[in-house]
Copies of this chain bind each other. A is one copy, B any other.
Amino acid sequence: MNQAVTLGALALRHGCELRGDPEAAVSHVATLEHAGPDAVSFLANPAYRPRLRDCRAGVVILRPDDLEDCPVAALLSPDPYLCYARVAAELHPPPPCAPGVHPSAVVAAGCSVPDSCEIGPGAVLGAGVQLGERVVIGAGCVLESGASVGADSRLRPGVLLGENVRVGQRCLLHHGVVLGADGFGFARERDGAWVKVPQVGTVLVGDDVEIGANTTVDRGAIGDTVIGDGVKLDNLIQVGHNCRIGAHTAIAALTGISGSTEIGARCMIGGQSGIAGHIRIADDVMLSGRAIVPSSIDRPGMYGGGGAPVDEMRRFQKNVVRFAQLDDIARRLRVLEKKLENRAEDPQ
């Protein structure tokens, strides 16, 4: 199990005020309901405040306002969820890198694999692959020739990197991620047949990027597809060739981004969104789930979606409500039309 940490040490390291015994210790995280005396929990969402009263956690991270309802020790933080993330990372670090190349792995000649790396069973590294220190390559990953992965990055099992794909430092690529398959580029003959346009660019992934399971990022047609530092992509996302995604942008699952689109920094994009190709989205744009973005968005802000092109959030939400009244609207309009027809005919 994890090593225990005293509440005093946590308060000190994470800059929180502690209400409780600094010598008491916790070893893991748990929910408000399930936490026992050796667990740390947190209260960020006010909806869960009723659960606080019966909480038996060793300590709860919460806002000062919620302190009065807390029957156990508390770590006070203006942003309990952020503080919880840091405490949890301390209690539950990723498993340490276990250096060594599994005998069933296949490492081509000319690869650069520091001794500090862990290469899992059945992993395949093509010619000229370069790894930084302490890189973990999971079982069954395939890194094609010329791919590189920066220090302290981890590829979970089954990740596939195409030729020359470059991944930065401290990245986490989940199971089944594909970086660097060909983009969807074809020219059309007169008879409707397609001629493949060679996809000669690659994919460049910055530092501190996390990419979810089975997400695909295509290599550039000419030039590269670029994923900025700190970007977080959820599962089953498609990023088209030559897209550029700005630093710290987060994108939820099943979103599709067509080719050559540029998304700014610190954007947050809801799940199943669809973003057209060859457009530009400004920094600090938030898109609701299922947004459709057919054209560029120039100003930061929240934009709605829900199947119609993005619109500013308030306006969009009103329209959505009206959609549910649409049949009613149409009927009422017909009533008015009839009334006016009757009047027009009125001999008055």
Contact = CB atoms under 8 A, between A and B. Distances in A.
B106 A106 contact: no
Contact of A186 (B181, B182, B198, B250): B250
Interface string A180-221: 011010111100111111101000000010101110101000
A168 interface: no
Nearest to A344: B339
Interface stretch (A3-11, A15-23, A68-76, A302-310): A302-310
A232 interface: yes
B142 A186 contact: no
A156 interface: yes
A165 B104 CA distance: 24
A252 B216 CA distance: 13
For this chain, the copies found in one complex come to 3
Interface string A302-333: 00001111010001001111111111011011
Contact of A223 (B31, B178, B188, B230): B31
Given A195-B85, A235-B218, A274-B271, A142 B142 contact: no
B162 A175 contact: yes
Contact of A323 (B240, B274, B323): B323
A81 B223 contact: no
A248 B193 contact: yes
A144 B265 CA distance: 35
Contacts of A266: 192
A274 B256 contact: no
Contact of A320 (B156, B272, B309): B309
A150 interface: no
A271 B323 CA distance: 21
Nearest to A266: B192
A42 to B, nearest CB: 9
Q: Report the interface size class on chain A.
A: 35 or more
Contacts of A82: 187-189, 195
A289 interface: yes
Interface in A105-121: 106, 120-121
Interface string A21-41: 000000011110010000000
B212 A214 contact: no
Interface in A54-75: none
A212 B184 contact: yes
Contacts of A162: 156, 175
A135 interface: no
A101 to B, nearest CB: 13
Interface of A: 28-31, 34, 79, 81-82, 84-86, 88-89, 91-93, 102, 104, 106, 120-122, 124, 126, 138-140, 142, 144, 156-158, 160, 162, 172, 174-176, 178, 181-182, 184, 186-189, 192-198, 200, 208, 210, 212-214, 216, 218, 222-223, 230, 232, 234-236, 238, 240, 248, 250, 252-254, 256, 258, 265-266, 271-272, 274, 276, 284, 289-290, 292, 306-309, 311, 315, 318-327, 329-330, 332-333, 336-337, 339-340
